[in-house]
Amino acid sequence: MPMIDADGCLLNVSVEGRDGGPTLMLSNSLGATMQMWEPQMAALTQIFRVIRYDRRGHGKSGVPPGPYSMERFGRDVLAILDDLNIQKTHWCGLSMGGMVGQWLGANAPERFGKLILANTACYYPDPTNWLNRIKAVKEGGVASVADTVIAAWLTADFREREPQITANLKAMMIATPPQGYIACCEALSTLDQRDLLPKIKSPTLVIAGRHDMSTPVAAGEYIRSQIPGAALTILDAAHISNVEQPHAFTDAVVGFLTQR
């Protein structure tokens, strides 16, 4: 996996799939690595050249000191594309990945074909939740918030039915460097990208989870309403919908990206 330098931060990147095919870039949620996309990879790599990466502060990427910002995350993505000599790609980002996708769609439209913004939001009116999480992680590490986060990521039914998948996601989250997690939470505590949405001209699909309490359906509906021509798909899932409903998520992604 190449390590790409973005403004002094080494980013862990993976490129897999169909050589010469259209390119698709995947972007993870807070507290997740590129491994969160494993349920989709077999199908997506048959059609696309798939780029995955660990956001700064996560996985095998560097953990430079904060503060981080959506612009910084977006410029990391552009550095990856430049290093790989990729002029244009489709984008699929979940949660924080969807927020980065909003910034990219508004600020680098020439680099992106279609956008998929899954289980995401554009604005948090009250930073209290993020400030409390920052305090908890500073005092007790990422493990101190893991059970609460996993309960929001997946429905209780799924957690009971799939304990191994649930345990794997929890382990992935706990392995996130605390400094990187905190710096990302600081970026989320001030999130307000409402003004960016009308500037997005790429064909856009918004995916929401019917049981998602972190970025509820209403947040997805608002994003859809503000991006010209955007569509909305609702899946029977909580926050990490690509894991909880892997087939439905993959079908939605492939269907949207391949339709003419």
Amino acid at 215: T
In a domain, 52, yes or no: yes
Give the per-residue pLDDT at 4.
83
Give the per-residue pLDDT at 72.
97
In a domain, 10, yes or no: yes
**Contact predicate 119/209, CB 8 Å:** yes
In a domain, 151, yes or no: no
**Tokens of residue 219, six digits:** 């947040």
**Contact predicate 124/212, CB 8 Å:** no
**Contact predicate 103/72, CB 8 Å:** no
Alpha carbon distance 178, 78 (integer Å): 25
CATH number at residue 48: 3.40.50.1820
Number of domains the chain contains: 1
Give the N- to C-terminal CA distance of the chain in Å, as an integer. Answer: 32
In a domain, 242, yes or no: yes
Give the pTM: 0.97
| DSSP strand pairing (204-209 vs 9-17) | unpaired
In a domain, 204, yes or no: yes
In a domain, 99, yes or no: yes
In a domain, 211, yes or no: yes
Task: Give me the residue label for tokens 């992604």.
Answer: 253
Alpha carbon distance 92, 205 (integer Å): 9
In degrees and rounded to multiples of 5, residue 5 shows phi and psi of -85, 120
Number of H helices, E strands in the chain: 11, 8
Q: Consecutive 10-residue runs of the chain (260 residues): their mean pLDDT?
A: 83 94 96 98 97 97 94 97 96 98 98 98 96 97 97 98 98 98 97 98 98 98 98 98 98 96
In degrees and rounded to multiples of 5, residue 164 shows phi and psi of -70, -45
Give the per-residue pLDDT at 1.
66
Alpha carbon distance 250, 260 (integer Å): 18
In degrees and rounded to multiples of 5, residue 166 shows phi and psi of -60, -45
Q: Which domain holds residue 58?
A: 3-122+193-258
In a domain, 179, yes or no: no
**Contact predicate 51/15, CB 8 Å:** yes
